[in-house]
């Protein structure tokens, strides 16, 4: 996390950019610690790429301060900043070998001879491409080209590596492999990474912390697990994963949780991360994640509307008896149930180790966890 003994690798204060009548970035502030993997996520058009370009020195901010490794860099051009950038389009030079591509920045900076060769070889070793130096980009797979681009960006040992959705063009399997490699490379290089993406799953799987952007602002920052399990706002809850939301009001509370009366019944809920429990009588919104729903037993019941097979789990849309719709996650498998008068089946009260549900089936269920979130437009 952020080091207090040394300045952070990157510090951003009040960064702002206006394009005609659109404020693309609006007072963005955050820090990235040395050796930290920081994900910046948000929907298309929220200002992620504009923020990244200002940090790289490719776009001038209208206001704000950028410090890299403790040194003011707001007005410095890109070449004078201790950063490198990996773009969506890798832009490898086709006429150069892999070694020449990786060493291009070193040659430009006057690093020559044995020193350049040594650093290029170390960079290729870091990205698991030893012995590939004599090949041309056309001889490489998509994943290998990604590694070459990373080696080229890391060979100069930047304080911060900026990544603009570099994996978006890869197929799912290769993208997942490269996510693991990115995290390994970041950890072994001990370089601060700023990874910009609209892919929440990728960011959560790799990042030490995540900043969530909306309409030019960062609305929350925190570790992925905390942001997912205890979001503070409706927007963050909805953006970072499937979420069912219910309106209600607080009828009771203790030191660590509240009872919220909702249209489906009373739910026990905790506050979002860093938030306080609202007083009794307050109107609130509660969020229920799919994995917080237990299928097969419980005080709620409803009918399965649809299911989607996701590999190691099924996702089900359930219409509760109240008329509200809830998303649940179950394990695929075979279970038995008894027929009902209206043509469906009723789930037995004892869930099996491998649960599965089918459209039209009536089921019992319970909600294990709920989180109170704010409704602010932030």
Domains with residue ranges and CATH for the chain = 10-229 (3.40.50.300), 230-378 (no CATH)
Look at residue 376 in the predicted model and tell me its pLDDT: 62
Q: What mean pLDDT is reported for the chain?
A: 88
Helix axes 142-154, 113-126, angle to 10 degrees: 130
Residue 352 has pLDDT above 50, yes or no: no
Residue 347 has pLDDT above 90, yes or no: no
Look at residue 377 in the predicted model and tell me its pLDDT: 52
Alpha helices in the chain (DSSP H): 48-56, 98-102, 104-108, 113-126, 142-154, 172-189, 200-206, 224-229, 234-239
Joined tokens for residue 328: 């649940």
Question: Tens of pLDDT along 267-322?
Answer: 999 999 888 899 999 999 999 999 999 998 899 999 999 998 877 788 899 999 99
Look at residue 335 in the predicted model and tell me its pLDDT: 41
The band of 355, judged by pLDDT with boundaries at 50, 70 and 90, is low
Query: DSSP letters along 75-129, please?
Result: T--GGGSSEEEE-SS----TTS-HHHHHTHHHHHTT--HHHHHHHHHHHHHHTT-
Mean pLDDT value of segment 57-86: 94
Mean pLDDT value of segment 328-351: 48
Query: DSSP letters along 121-165, please?
Result: HHHHHHTT-TT-TT--GGGS-HHHHHHHHHHHHHTT--SEEEEES
Burial tier of 112 (Cβ tally within 10 Å: 0-12, 13-18, 19+): exposed
Helix axes 172-189, 113-126, angle to 10 degrees: 130
Q: Give the DSSP letter of residue 290.
A: G
The band of 59, judged by pLDDT with boundaries at 50, 70 and 90, is very high
What is the maximal distance between C-alpha atoms in the chain?
83
Answer with the residue of higher pLDDT: 171 or 121. Answer: 121
Percentage of the chain modeled with pLDDT above 90: 70
Question: Tens of pLDDT along 94-145?
Answer: 999 999 999 998 998 888 889 999 999 999 999 999 999 999 999 998 889 9
Mean pLDDT value of segment 161-189: 86
Look at residue 234 in the predicted model and tell me its pLDDT: 94
Answer with the residue of higher pLDDT: 58 or 338. Answer: 58
Residue 338 has pLDDT above 70, yes or no: no
Residue 195 has pLDDT above 80, yes or no: yes
């Amino acid at each position: 996390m952020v080091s207090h003994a040394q300045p952070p690798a990157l510090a951003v204060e009040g960064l702002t950019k206006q394009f005609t009548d659109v404020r693309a970035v609006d007072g963005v502030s955050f820090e990235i610690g040395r050796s930290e993997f920081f994900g910046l996520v948000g929907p298309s058009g929220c200002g992620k790429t504009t923020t990244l370009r200002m940090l790289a020195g490719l776009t001038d901010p209208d206001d704000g301060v950028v410090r890299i490794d403790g040194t003011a860099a707001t007005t410095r051009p890109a070449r004078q900043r201790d950063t490198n950038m990996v773009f969506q389009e890798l832009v490898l030079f086709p006429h150069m070998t892999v070694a020449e591509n990786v060493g291009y920045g070193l040659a430009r900076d006057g690093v020559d001879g044995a020193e350049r060769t040594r650093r290029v070889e170390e960079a290729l070793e870091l990205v698991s491409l030893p012995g590939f130096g004599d090949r041309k980009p056309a001889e490489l797979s998509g994943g290998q080209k990604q590694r070459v681009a990373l080696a080229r960006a890391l060979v100069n040992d930047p304080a911060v590596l900026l990544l603009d959705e570099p994996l978006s063009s890869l197929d799912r399997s290769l993208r997942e492999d490269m996510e693991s490699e990115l995290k390994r490379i970041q950890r072994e290089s001990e370089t601060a990474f700023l990874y910009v993406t609209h892919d929440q799953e990728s960011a959560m799987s790799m990042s030490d912390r995540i900043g969530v952007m909306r309409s030019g602002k960062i609305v929350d920052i925190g570790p992925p697990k905390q942001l997912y399990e205890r979001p503070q706002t409706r927007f963050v809850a909805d953006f970072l994963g499937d979420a069912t939301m219910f309106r209600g009001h607080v009828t009771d509370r203790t030191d660590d949780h509240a009872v919220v009366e909702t249209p489906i019944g009373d739910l026990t809920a905790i506050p979002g991360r860093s938030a306080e429990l609202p007083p009794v009588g307050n109107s609130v919104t509660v969020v229920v994640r799919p994995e917080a729903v237990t299928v097969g037993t419980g005080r709620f019941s409803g009918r399965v509307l649809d299911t989607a097979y996701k590999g190691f789990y099924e996702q089900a849309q359930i219409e509760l008896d109240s008329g509200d719709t809830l998303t649940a996650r179950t394990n695929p498998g075979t279970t038995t149930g008894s027929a009902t008068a209206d043509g469906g089946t009723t789930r037995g009260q004892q869930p099996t180790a491998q649960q599965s549900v089918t459209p039209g089936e009536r089921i019992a269920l319970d909600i294990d966890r709920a989180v109170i979130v704010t409704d602010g437009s932030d």
